[in-house]
Structure 1
Amino acid sequence: MQIIYWLLVALMVVGIIGAVVPAIPGASLILIAIISWGFISGSFAAIKIPLIVTIIVLLLSVGIDFLASYLGAKKAGASQWGQIGAIVGFVVGFLGLLPTLPVGGPLLGMLLGPLLGAIIGEYLYRRDWKVAIKAGIGIVVGTLVGNLIQGLLAISAVVVFLVTTWPQVFGA
């Protein structure tokens, strides 16, 4: 039972990484691991609090993702063109259509893609490089701050799970 517990904790660590790195499921992996532990241990009462915390974290993560990107774009004066460009840039970067670099691959593409996409989208709309670059940086910074907050929320969900289930597994 302890081996399964550690495997689920490892899945949660991947969830924490996924909360920070785009395109990897974050809080949903943590939620899946907690529900799995409920089935395996046969005691959903033991995971009630972690389950509630993780559902709240999942909902907050979705909201923070949109809010952080929006606030970053708004603060930098980006238009919808810049935001659409960032989304297109993310997809293009993730799929590796950006020039292949010796280090980073799609992960670097997911960081550079939104920046370049936002700059291009904003430039097409306003025809001013200075404003376009500022808007692109604002969108990317907002997204990165949002990912950092999501990572902290994911860590808190895993800590709550560990604190509440540890005695059940290892006998306090």
Structure 2
Amino acid sequence: MTSGTVLVLGAGVGRESIALAQRGFLVAGLDINRESLCVASRQSSINCSKPVFAQADFLAIPVGPARVDYVFMSGIMYSSIPGRQQRQAWLQSLRSCMNEHGLVVLNFLIARDMNTRTQRLIHRLNCWFIRLPGANQSYQFGDTCSQNHFLHAFVDEEEIRSELRGAGATVDYLSWHEGYAVLSWCS
């Protein structure tokens, strides 16, 4: 990766967007938080880099077909999409904004303490709760709520690999211990 158009999802205060723009990439940074984007814009003007920042929801990306070479999803935003099927559908929707040889780099949350007695008990209780009327039928082991935000923590490497493959993506590289994957799609 030495040039091209990068879409940064979850741009926040611009750290990744600015660094990529300084390396010669054309960068569009999206985030839902307007205040963070204002900080990002100020930072980019101080650093003389030219990323473009826009307020948008990463679940409804405002990018035309085949416009992007790379998508970078910062933080653990992928894990904030509730439900395996929804995450897979979202990944499939990314494909339309990617060019033919585009790559996606996404980070995910790893469940590091799922084998504790407490976590096993919570899982058993959740399995009981999902039988109740109106319950979340798409509950998975690893689903949690932290500071009023849903997160899915992946339990093992095979879980994330099978989910990504199930979305039609090719897993070009996956670092389980660092919590990121590089994806492409066959033409």
The alignment's TM-score, normalised by the length of structure 2, stands at: 0.28
Which has more radius of gyration?
1
Larger % of helix: which?
1
Q: Which has the higher contact order (CA 8 A, sep 6+)?
A: 1
